[in-house]
Structure 1
């Protein structure tokens, strides 16, 4: 595979993004959304940058999704005026911040508990305002959300008329797709993802309650669940870069991966071992996503795919290599990470390159915004 970095020197470790590959990924998903007649509301947790958010909006995204209020605040400052916070907002301090955002931009959030719904309702009603909400449905990840079908429908009916909130839809995230071992299992998870919402919506409709948005997420499933009639919105995140987890799942070939870590060999203490300056604080410790371990090592070294990044300490990557590999201290290596999202969150900036070399530097503005 062609290397992203063209020169012999760099202040490593660096997170590189190939502009051409990024644009191809953005265009591809935008074209899918348009052809499927669904709204594109990408999750910004993957890239956390104003520049990529703008590129997504230019390609038809109606807004963005984020995980935390801190991410929404950073994006709102930079002109993003339609944001879904796909996370339960619990606690008075966070409700105050949510209100401040709602006074500036169009913002929505999720609910999956009566306690959370009542707190949200009481707070916004006291301010003579209403906040748009989706009910979170658990399509199989077993994280947040009500069970699809009767439980989710009963909950939705119970909270629909609460003051201070406006029910706009149902939402789910099929993150358990990252554990799929075969393509047919991935397809089943994706179809179940859509059906979990559509079946719940059908029960609501029978009870005289309609919701306008049926929102699905997850990059591995989005082109299946997003094509099911009745789905109105998709929220993929990882698609902007892709990574080795997506390659393992068969979502894309390795050539579609737009993000790499540039690292330098700092030691070769044994013929079969090298050490790089990209450790856990650069590569993260994921061997997959959502706690699923589906790949070996901690990323793929582009020029030496048989080498294995066996272990990481904070600032060291320990790599098993063949004694015949001509790797020397000072060499630059490129790594496609297992999971791009935490890698970006660990970086101050993304170094944007194209086929001619360095193109730009993009600040990771939402880095560490976990509140």
Structure 2
């Protein structure tokens, strides 16, 4: 049984538990690509949504932080983090303006993936008299945002350079489809395609006299392999700060390396099942990002053997099993969530198991900042 106390009182469940020692080990692994491959690290904020963790990442060597939304970016800028990439093509003029005001005192990198969207940003930049830094997003196989590699990248780069309003300095991609891989070899192949979609596009642009010195790739499953390709200058893993059941299922991490768990309580015992107080509002209903079920159920509990959350409703999690006689009512179970990123966004704070044995509360500062 796991016992957790905060200020001499038992922690009420469900609760988010963060093991600081494991998190730091994960961060050392992430930052290790800098020395091995001479690349920078710009981790994603959307995984942890914590100012404390973002500043720890910077202290450990990150060159800046990646954000998914304007409100995340504003939060970081307001808290003194002055180098951010907005990894989302903005089309709302109000959102663009809200970040433009920071560009004179901080590095804010905007991203573009079409001539139409680039023109929207140019029009706003002209009004402000700015020359904002932008990177082109390329589609490396996820088939979400992004222009296609090579010729489409070149066409967009030429358009931006011709207008001479946006300061084009880089290209980036996200191989999120690696989450659907079934083997480590498939992950390595996706990492290769990810890196080459960037590097081949850069070569084409440079032959036309267009320099793209920043070449950034992302995705926790692929970042270590993609970083080995000469010419890649930056990686942007997000989930790697914690890891989760999906990463364990993919073979990217081991279960004992996962830093984030959800603490739950057994509230009912039946002959063939346990019911805990962590349901979909504590664990989500995700069973594998981008369509691949590399995990069982809705989370895994490691106590006296391995049990999976087989069913969830909003407040209830159910473990269907007849091998549960030794688990008692009110017993606390730690659950590895399937996907840490959306789970974090369900909580106001972490209970952090510090390396000195103490438990502290750290805010999930960016919770709900989805605009």
TM-score scaled by structure 1? 0.95
Is the 1:4–1:353 contact (alpha carbons within 8 Å) kept by the matching residues of 2?
no
Residue in structure 1 matched with residue 308 of structure 2 by the alignment: 308
Is the 1:351–1:358 contact (alpha carbons within 8 Å) kept by the matching residues of 2?
no
Aligned equivalents of 1:111, 1:292: Cα separation in 2? 29
Cα distance, 1:294 vs structure 2: 2.2
What SS is found at the alignment partner of 2:310?
A: strand
Cα distance, 1:102 vs structure 2: 2.2
In structure 2, relative to structure 1, the CA distance for the partners of 1:244 and 1:323 (3 Å cut) is: closer
Aligned equivalents of 2:56, 2:312: Cα separation in 1? 34
Is the 2:133–2:166 contact (alpha carbons within 8 Å) kept by the matching residues of 1?
yes
What SS is found at the alignment partner of 1:88?
A: coil
Residue in structure 2 matched with residue 296 of structure 1 by the alignment: 296
What SS is found at the alignment partner of 2:99?
A: helix
Structure 1 segments of 4+ aligned residues over 6 angstroms from their partners: none
Is the 2:74–2:99 contact (alpha carbons within 8 Å) kept by the matching residues of 1?
no
Q: Deviations over 1:239-295 (max 9, x none)?
A: 110011111111111111000000001112x21111111111111111122343321
Residue in structure 2 matched with residue 329 of structure 1 by the alignment: 329
Aligned equivalents of 2:271, 2:285: Cα separation in 1? 25
2:124 is the counterpart of 1:111? no
Aligned equivalents of 2:323, 2:61: Cα separation in 1? 50
TM-score scaled by structure 2? 0.95
Aligned length: 369
In structure 2, relative to structure 1, the CA distance for the partners of 1:4 and 1:147 (3 Å cut) is: farther
Aligned equivalents of 1:29, 1:280: Cα separation in 2? 30
2:30 is the counterpart of 1:26? no
What SS is found at the alignment partner of 2:274?
A: strand
Is the 1:36–1:227 contact (alpha carbons within 8 Å) kept by the matching residues of 2?
yes
Residue in structure 2 matched with residue 349 of structure 1 by the alignment: 349
Is the 2:4–2:10 contact (alpha carbons within 8 Å) kept by the matching residues of 1?
no
2:186 is the counterpart of 1:182? no
Is the 1:349–1:361 contact (alpha carbons within 8 Å) kept by the matching residues of 2?
yes
Aligned equivalents of 1:230, 1:81: Cα separation in 2? 25
In structure 2, relative to structure 1, the CA distance for the partners of 1:65 and 1:272 (3 Å cut) is: same
Q: Which runs of 5+ in 2 are unaligned?
A: none
What SS is found at the alignment partner of 1:102?
A: coil
Residue in structure 2 matched with residue 224 of structure 1 by the alignment: 225
Aligned equivalents of 1:237, 1:4: Cα separation in 2? 29
Residue in structure 2 matched with residue 213 of structure 1 by the alignment: 214
Which 10-residue stretch deviates more, 301-310 or 114-123? Answer: 301-310
Is the 1:125–1:163 contact (alpha carbons within 8 Å) kept by the matching residues of 2?
no
Cα distance, 1:227 vs structure 2: 1.3
What SS is found at the alignment partner of 1:263?
A: strand
Is the 2:3–2:332 contact (alpha carbons within 8 Å) kept by the matching residues of 1?
no
Is the 2:138–2:171 contact (alpha carbons within 8 Å) kept by the matching residues of 1?
yes
Is the 1:273–1:320 contact (alpha carbons within 8 Å) kept by the matching residues of 2?
yes
Cα distance, 1:306 vs structure 2: 3.9
Aligned equivalents of 1:4, 1:245: Cα separation in 2? 26
Q: Deviations over 1:144-178 (max 9, x none)?
A: 00111222222222222334311011100000000
Q: Deviations over 1:72-114 (max 9, x none)?
A: 1111111101010100111121122121232442101210011
Cα distance, 1:355 vs structure 2: 6.0
Q: Deviations over 1:199-222 (max 9, x none)?
A: 011111111111111100001100
Report 1:5-24 matches (<5 A). Answer: 5=4, 9-24=10-25
In structure 2, relative to structure 1, the CA distance for the partners of 1:315 and 1:357 (3 Å cut) is: farther
Report 1:134-283 matches (<5 A). Answer: 134-268=135-269, 270-283=270-283
Which 10-residue stretch deviates more, 330-339 or 358-367? Answer: 358-367
Aligned equivalents of 1:353, 1:30: Cα separation in 2? 22
Q: Which runs of 5+ in 1 are unaligned?
A: none
Residue in structure 2 matched with residue 121 of structure 1 by the alignment: 122
Cα distance, 1:324 vs structure 2: 4.5
Residue in structure 2 matched with residue 286 of structure 1 by the alignment: 286
Aligned equivalents of 1:284, 1:64: Cα separation in 2? 26
